[in-house]
Chain A
Amino acid sequence: MRKAQLNIGLVLVGLVILAGVLSLLWTPYDPIRVTSNRLLPPGWPHLLGTDGMGIDIASRLLIGARYCLIVGVISVGVAAVVGVPLGMLAGMRGGWLDELTMRVADIVYAFPALLLAMLLAAAFGASTGTAMAAIGIATIPAFARIARAGTLQVVASDFVLAAKAAGTSRWGIAARHVFPNIAPLVGVQASVGFAMAILAEAALSYLGLGTPRPTPTWGAMLRDAQDVWYTQPVQALWPGLSIALAVLGFNLLGDGMRDVLDPRLREVK
Chain B
Amino acid sequence: MALRIAQKLGVFALSLIGASVLIFLITNALPGNVAHVLLGTDATPDAVAELEAQLGLDRPIALRYLEWISGIASGDFGTSPLSGDPVLALITPRVGVTAWLVALGICGSLIIALPLGMLAALKRRKWQGLAISAAAQFGMAIPVFWCGIIFALVFAVWLRVLPPNGYVPLTEDPAEWLRHLVLPVLTLALVQSAVLIRYVRSAFIEVLHEDYYRTARAIGWTPLRALLRHGVRNAAISLVTVVGLQLSSSLVGAIVVEQVYNLHGLGSLLLDKVAERDLVVVQGTVMLLVLAVLLINLLVDLSYQLIDPRQRGRQQ
Interface residues of A (CB under 8 A from B): 103-104, 106-108, 110-116, 118-126, 195, 199, 202-203, 206-209, 219, 222, 225-226, 229-230, 233, 236, 239-240, 243-245, 247-248, 251-252, 255
Q: Quick one: given A203-B256, A226-B149, A248-B138, are A106 and B143 in contact (CB under 8 Å)? A: no
Instruction: Show 7 residue pairs from A and B whose CB-CB distance is below 8 angstroms, ordered by the A residue.
Output: A107-B14, A107-B18, A112-B251, A122-B282, A203-B252, A244-B142, A248-B138
CB distance from A262 to the nearest CB of B (A): 14
Contact in complex: B15, A106 (CB < 8 Å): yes
Q: Is the CB of A229 within 8 A of B27?
A: no
Closest to A107 in B: B18
A179 to chain B, nearest CB (A): 28
CA distance A124 to B26 in the complex (A): 9
A153 to chain B, nearest CB (A): 20
Of B61-69, B287-295, B303-311, the segment with at least 4 beta carbons within 8 Å of chain A is B287-295
Determine whether B95 belongs to the interface, using a CB cutoff of 8 Å to chain A. no
> Among residues 213 to 270 in chain B, which have CB atoms less than 8 Å away from a CB atom of chain A?
248-249, 251-252, 255-256, 259-260, 270
A71 to chain B, nearest CB (A): 14
- B153, CB-defined interface residue at 8 Å: yes
Q: Please count the residue pairs between chain A and chain B whose beta carbons lie under 8 angstroms apart in the complex.
A: 141
Given contacts A112-B251, A119-B286, A122-B279, 10 further A-B contacts (CB under 8 A): A122-B277, A122-B282, A124-B30, A199-B141, A199-B143, A208-B271, A226-B149, A233-B153, A240-B146, A244-B138
Structural contact, B26 and A115, CB atoms closer than 8 A: no
Which residues of chain B are near A225, meaning CB under 8 Å?
Answer: 149
Contact call A195/B141, Cβ cutoff below 8 A: yes
> Which B residues between 135 and 167 are near A, CB-CB below 8 angstroms?
137-138, 140-146, 149-150, 152-153, 157
- Residue of A203, A239, A252 near B137 (CB, 8 A) is A252
CA gap between A29 and B86 in the complex, in Å: 50
Q: Is the CB of A244 within 8 A of B143?
A: yes
Within the complex, the shortest CB–CB distance from B272 to chain A, in Å, comes to 11
Is the beta-carbon distance between A247 and B19 smaller than 8 angstroms? no
Residues of chain A contacted by B256 (CB below 8 angstroms): 114, 203, 206-207
Q: Contact: B23 with A119, CB < 8 Å?
A: yes
A248 cross-chain contacts in B, Cβ below 8 A: 137-138, 140-141
Question: Which residues on the B side are within 8 Å of A219 (C-beta)?
Answer: 143, 145
Assess the A203–B144 pair: CB atoms within 8 A. yes
- Contacts A119-B286, A229-B152, A229-B157; is A112 near B277 (CB within 8 Å)? no
Q: How far is the CB of A121 from chain B (nearest CB, A)?
A: 5
Shortest B48–chain A CB gap in Å is 16
**A230-B18 Cα distance, complex, nearest whole Å:** 46
Contacts A229-B153, A236-B149 hold; do A114 and B138 have CB atoms under 8 A apart?
A: no
Cβ of B39 within 8 Å of any chain A Cβ, yes or no, is: no
Q: Does B53 contact A (CB under 8 A)?
A: no
**Set B30, B146, B286: member contacting A115, Cβ < 8 A:** B286
**Alpha-carbon distance A123/B84, docked complex (angstroms):** 19
The 10 closest A-B CB pairs, nearest first, are A240-B146, A247-B141, A248-B141, A107-B18, A122-B282, A114-B252, A112-B252, A244-B141, A119-B26, A122-B274
B6 to chain A minimum Cβ distance, whole angstroms, is 16
Does B11 lie at the interface of the complex (its beta carbon under 8 Å from any beta carbon of A)? yes
Provided the pairs A118-B274, A123-B30 are in contact, do residues A240 and B150 lie with their beta carbons within 8 angstroms?
Answer: yes
Check if B32 sits within 8 Å of A124, measured CB to CB: yes
Is there contact, CB below 8 Å, between B15 and A107?
A: yes
User: A222 and B142: CB pair below 8 A?
Assistant: no
B283 in the interface (beta carbon within 8 A): yes
Give the nearest-CB partner of B191 in chain A. A199
In the complex, the chain A residue whose C-beta lies closest to that of B271 is A207
Report whether A236 and B23 are in contact in the complex, using a CB–CB cutoff of 8 Å: no
A123 lies within 8 A of B26 (CB): yes
| Most B-side CB within 10 Å, residue of A103, A112, A120 | A112
Contact present for B150 and A118 (CB under 8 Å): no
User: Which residue among B30, B141, B152, B283 has the maximum number of chain A CB atoms within 10 Å of its CB?
Assistant: B141
| A112 and B248 within 8 A (CB) | yes
User: What is the distance, in angstroms, from A109's C-beta to the closest C-beta of chain B?
Assistant: 8
Tell me if A118 and B140 are in contact (CB < 8 A). no
Q: Is the CB of B150 within 8 A of A123?
A: no
Closest to B150 in A: A236
Residue of A nearest to B275 (CB): A208
Q: In the complex, what residues of B have CB within 8 A of residue A114's CB? A: 252, 255-256
The answer to the question of B55 belonging to the interface, with a C-beta cut-off of 8 Å to chain A, is: no
In the complex, which residues of chain A have a beta carbon less than 8 angstroms from the beta carbon of B15?
Answer: 103, 106-107, 110
Considering the chains assembled together, what is the distance between the CA atoms of A203 and B286 in angstroms? 18
- Name the A residues within 8 Å of B144 (CB-CB): 203
Q: Which of B156-215 contact A (CB under 8 A)?
A: 157
